[in-house]
Amino acid sequence: METIKTIDYTITIDNGLFDNIAQLLKTHTNGTCHIIVDSKVYKLYQESLKKNLEAINYTITIVRDGEGSKSFTTYQDTVAKLIQKGIRRDDLLVALGGGVIGDLCGFIAATLYRGIPFVQIPTTLLSMVDSSIGGKTAINLPQGKNLVGAFNMPEAVFIDPEFLSTLEENQLRSGLVEVYKAALLGDKNLLEDLKVDRLDNQVIKRAIEVKRIIVEQDPYDQGARLVLNFGHTFGHAIEKAHNFETYTHGEAVAEGIIMALQIGVDQGITPNALCHEIKAILLEKHLVTEPLLNYKDYLPYISHDKKMSRDGLRFVFLKDYEHPVIKTIDQGAL
Ligand SMILES: NC(=O)c1ccc[n+]([C@@H]2O[C@H](COP(=O)([O-])OP(=O)(O)OC[C@H]3O[C@@H](n4cnc5c(N)ncnc54)[C@H](O)[C@@H]3O)[C@@H](O)[C@H]2O)c1
């Protein structure tokens, strides 16, 4: 078993942890556990979910799987169902699923009755190494992703890597991109380990550690935390341009990382050799495929992104491995 202690909560990583989930949840509430799960995860895990929860009071609320559920409509429907089920302020909300469920459930937990405790049980690689960590919760608006949200730390994060056995290949790749992002930002040795295609609990732990260290420097995203957006400025634009259908989040971020490297070279920040090296790694690991996308095609889609400041576009570049640089550039200069 691996544990990571953040300032506010503990992250536990253990194979088979889900079998003991009732015991773990019991340490966080004497009330009812309200599980929010997406339809796909529910279909795959309903038997074990019901068996594992036998010893505690619980309700299950199922939302449709996919990014579309990070919406006001789903927020409202889910809250209505929870109230109908008699949810109280001293109950516990439980996000069982990927980043969509974590973000939605965390936002409900931040806002329903002005706050209900919640825990995260991430079931995708992306949610294990990224979205369940750091307390950012949000839903989307037609104008853009994550535009309405709250900082809301979970009580705990319980990671059972065995969930990954049912994850589709493209979703696994999507999470792997965030592992590579973490390695590029803060753990070059992890990059070496990833060369042998080893995805074990240590890899998950080290990717989380990179995020934990960055988040703890800047929990409310006022400065340092922005580096986690490496590859995301264009990543989000790519997802939006393709209606969140053609590319998974991670696939879009992988393209966005290469775009950030190329623009970094043009800006005189990123060495050409570094850009080529990282591009070669992402291509070799099939995290991007040729022909690569052209960032100029996605410029119109970044105008509503939260990364726009009054002075221009706040961009994350890489000066070297483990050396991200934040720079505001005029969008017209791209
Ligand atoms: N809060 C944050 O800090 C943060 C950080 C990064 C990303 N995000 C958000 O996370 C979301 C993306 O998360 P995601 O990639 O996990 O997407 P997701 O939650 O949509 O999950 C991807 C797909 O995998 C399925 N799935 C989940 N677990 C499974 C399992 N064990 N086996 C089989 N299928 C499974 C889901 O049903 C879904 O179809 C985006 O909305 C993004 O904005 C948030």
Ligand 1 atom 42 nearest Cα? 99
Residue 235 CA to ligand 1 centre (angstroms) = 15
Residue 132: both structure tokens together: 């369940």
- Dump pLDDT digits (tens) for 5-22: 999 999 999 999 999 999
Q: Which residues of the chain have pLDDT under 50?
A: none
Which of 15, 118, 171 is the pocket-test mutation for ligand 1 (most atoms within 8 Å of CB)?
A: 171
Residue 300: both structure tokens together: 């119109």
Q: Kind and range of the H or E element at 49?
A: helix 39-53
Residue 334 CA to ligand 1 centre (angstroms) = 31
Q: What is the pLDDT of residue 304?
A: 52
CA angle, 140 then 144 then 148, to 5°: 45
Instruction: Show the domains of the chain with their CATH numbers.
Output: 2-166 (3.40.50.1970), 172-333 (1.20.1090.10)
Whole-model pTM: value is 0.95
Distances (CA, A) of 201 to 45, 95, 161, 248, 319: 21, 21, 7, 23, 29
- Dump pLDDT digits (tens) for 296-324: 999 988 865 555 566 678 889 999 999 99
Q: Is 325 exposed, middle or buried (0-12, 13-18, 19+ CB in 10 A)?
A: middle
At 319 the three-state DSSP class reads strand
CB of 172 shorter than 6 A to ligand 1: no
- Dump pLDDT digits (tens) for 129-150: 999 999 999 999 988 789 999 9
CB of 229 shorter than 6 A to ligand 1: no
Q: Is 279 exposed, middle or buried (0-12, 13-18, 19+ CB in 10 A)?
A: middle
CB of 135 shorter than 6 A to ligand 1: no
Backbone φ and ψ for 118, nearest 5 degrees, come out as -145, 155
Cross-strand bridge partners of residue 13:
2, 159
How many CA atoms lie within 13 Å of 287's alpha carbon, on the beta-carbon side?
Answer: 28
What type of residue sits at position 186?
G
Q: What is the pLDDT of residue 310?
A: 65
Q: What is the pLDDT of residue 309?
A: 64
Q: What is the pLDDT of residue 68?
A: 92
